Structure 1
Amino acid sequence: MSGPGDTSRIAVVTGGNKGIGLEVCRQLASAGVTVVLTARDEKRGAEAVEKLTGLGLSDVIFHQLDITDTSSIERLAELLKSRFGRLNILVNNAAFNGHEPVGNPSFSPEMCIAQLSGMDAAQRVEWMRQNSRETYDTAVKCLQTNYYGAKHVTEALLPLLQSSSDGRVVNVSSGFGLLRYIGSEELKQELNDPENLTEERLDELLAAFLKDFKAGAAETRGWPKDFSAYKVAKASLSAYTRVFARRHPELRVNCVDPGYVKTEINWNSGYLTPEEGGSRVAAVALLPARGPTGALFANGKEASFV
């Protein structure tokens, strides 16, 4: 295992025990990066590291992390500081889908293959909508995880990122995070204006969204229809990425849409493999020095936030 005097790059991947996160860990480790794989569940995290070790990837360690728990984030920061003294790459991948199944169906890969066969992407999303519901509690959890969790981890690890010569942050976004899903033109313009937008204003907007959601008025107030909390959280994460990138030009801070990947977060309704989605995330994490910052990548290239 690499030590504090080692010159290899150090990466943290949140939600690294399965799906896209596990694949990002594998691809970064394969590129010679020392990876700290994090997950809420210690058993699953340790098993994920064992799996990667079995592939001959020895520079992967597990550290328990709940991105919604401040003390858990602090423990991670302390580990990184004492063991490595720096952080080169942070991949904010951990996420929550913002809805719950209607009833108690089993969304196993086998079942989904049978039900989704022949459906295009739009039909698969509609299948998810019909089989799920959003509640106020799931909306709160969605924002706390997908937006505030990523933000708090980034801020806690900022000094370590600044201690490396080429610190970079990769926020895993989604096609659902595009501003086209927001009905209000005023909201779109505000979220698409990183020069004037502030983190305090983002807090106000998210509080307003939750208030409108609770009142059953989200769509009429211009917030997205269907999977609204997830869309708002990812759009806000993209906006935060751009604001943070402007504030810290010494870092490379970008978003990446991995595509519609077959993972637990979408009940295995996606059509890309975790390997395909993970490769898009890893590619942004491994961009050449002095590359783009404050950008969104989709399909392997820079894309519009709208």
Structure 2
Amino acid sequence: MKTALITGANKSIGFETARQLLQQGYYVYLGCRDIQKGQEAVSQLQAEGLTQVEPIEIDVDNADSIKAAREVLGQKTNVLDVLINNAGIHGAMPNTALETDIDVFKQVFDTNVFGVISVTQAFVDLLRQSPEPRIVNLTSGLGSLTLHSDPAWKYYAIKPTAYVMSKAALNAYTIVLAHELRDTTFKVNAVDPGYTATDFNNHSGPGTVPDAAARVVKAATFGPDGPTGQFFSDDNAPETGVSPW
């Protein structure tokens, strides 16, 4: 049975991603900052008959928490097949280039960039034990520098600065990580789940959580001939699904 760890998975897209992976026969570790909320999420999935799931307490902003989570998971399994870096924040809004306090930038980068790097580095040894390891970094269409430079782009005027910068940096990390692992069986990709109606955006997005999660699951379950080092976004590129960086 393949195993997956999803950060920020007790609600929304992370939770639905867990549900869909469970339906495909994965054993899923639900990463969450609040273990009680994680257990409640697990109970909900188990009530649906999806029993191969358990919570893992992990705060991606806290090095000690990440280390503890790695130790806990290492006691449960010797192999991790999928890591989905889902946890993310947008920071205090609005955040502009000239008026946003530097602490907001630091907070957003701590979660969206440094948290992803720290978690990936902590669990890569377990991933290396998998014959087909997969890493999926949840990004945003707003992380595309190419599109943000195009006045004709439909989201051109939407520029929450700290968030945009953090997702662009995350995309860059995805590129270099995929390159570093290019001669292995790893597949490392960035996935934009789309403008989805969630708590994250006060349910303003037109997309649905199941559709968003399906995009993540697709990248998490790529076969041996699947792509790596790509930025997938049906929102940015509905025809090809591959967004410009």
Q: TM-score, normalised by structure 2?
A: 0.88
Look up the match of 1:266: 201
Match of 1:253 among 188, 193, 196: 188
Tell me the distance in 2 between the aligned counterparts of 1:61 and 1:13: 11
Q: Give ranges in structure 1 of 5+ residues lacking alignment.
A: 1-7, 102-128, 184-223
Aligned pairs, how many? Answer: 230
Match of 1:25 among 10, 15, 18: 18
Look up the match of 1:290: 225
Which portions of structure 1, spanning 4 or more consecutive aligned residues, are displaced by more than 4 angstroms?
A: none
Alpha-carbon displacement from aligned partner over 1:151-182 (angstroms, at most 9, x marks no partner): 11001111111111011100001011101366
Tell me the distance in 2 between the aligned counterparts of 1:247 and 1:149: 19
Alpha-carbon displacement from aligned partner over 1:4-28 (angstroms, at most 9, x marks no partner): xxxx101000000111000000001
AA at the equivalent of 1:17? N
* Distance apart, 1:75 and its partner CA: 1.4
Tell me the distance in 2 between the aligned counterparts of 1:232 and 1:181: 13
Look up the match of 1:162: 128
Greater Rg, structure 1 or structure 2?
1
SS at match of 1:36: strand
- Contact 1:99–1:135 (CA<8 Å) still a contact in 2? no
Structure 1 position 174 matched with structure 2 position 140:
yes
Structure 1 position 138 matched with structure 2 position 100:
no
SS at match of 1:32: coil
AA at the equivalent of 2:12? G
Tell me the distance in 2 between the aligned counterparts of 1:293 and 1:149: 21
Tell me the distance in 1 between the aligned counterparts of 2:158 and 2:214: 30
Look up the match of 2:162: 229
Identity %: 37
AA at the equivalent of 2:144? L
- Contact 1:263–1:269 (CA<8 Å) still a contact in 2? yes
- Contact 1:177–1:235 (CA<8 Å) still a contact in 2? yes
Look up the match of 2:4: 11
Match of 2:42 among 49, 64, 68: 49
Tell me the distance in 1 between the aligned counterparts of 2:70 and 2:178: 21
Q: TM-score, normalised by structure 1?
A: 0.71
Alignment of 1:176-255 (within 5 A): 176-180=142-146, 226-249=159-182, 250=184, 251-255=186-190
CA RMSD of aligned residues (A): 2.0
- Contact 2:134–2:221 (CA<8 Å) still a contact in 1? no
Tell me the distance in 2 between the aligned counterparts of 1:145 and 1:256: 17
Alpha-carbon displacement from aligned partner over 1:251-296 (angstroms, at most 9, x marks no partner): 1100111000111111211111111111111111111123111011
More helix per residue: 1 or 2?
A: 1
- Contact 2:143–2:166 (CA<8 Å) still a contact in 1? yes
* Distance apart, 1:82 and its partner CA: 2.0
Q: Give ranges in structure 2 of 5+ residues lacking alignment.
A: 150-156
Tell me the distance in 1 between the aligned counterparts of 2:206 and 2:78: 40
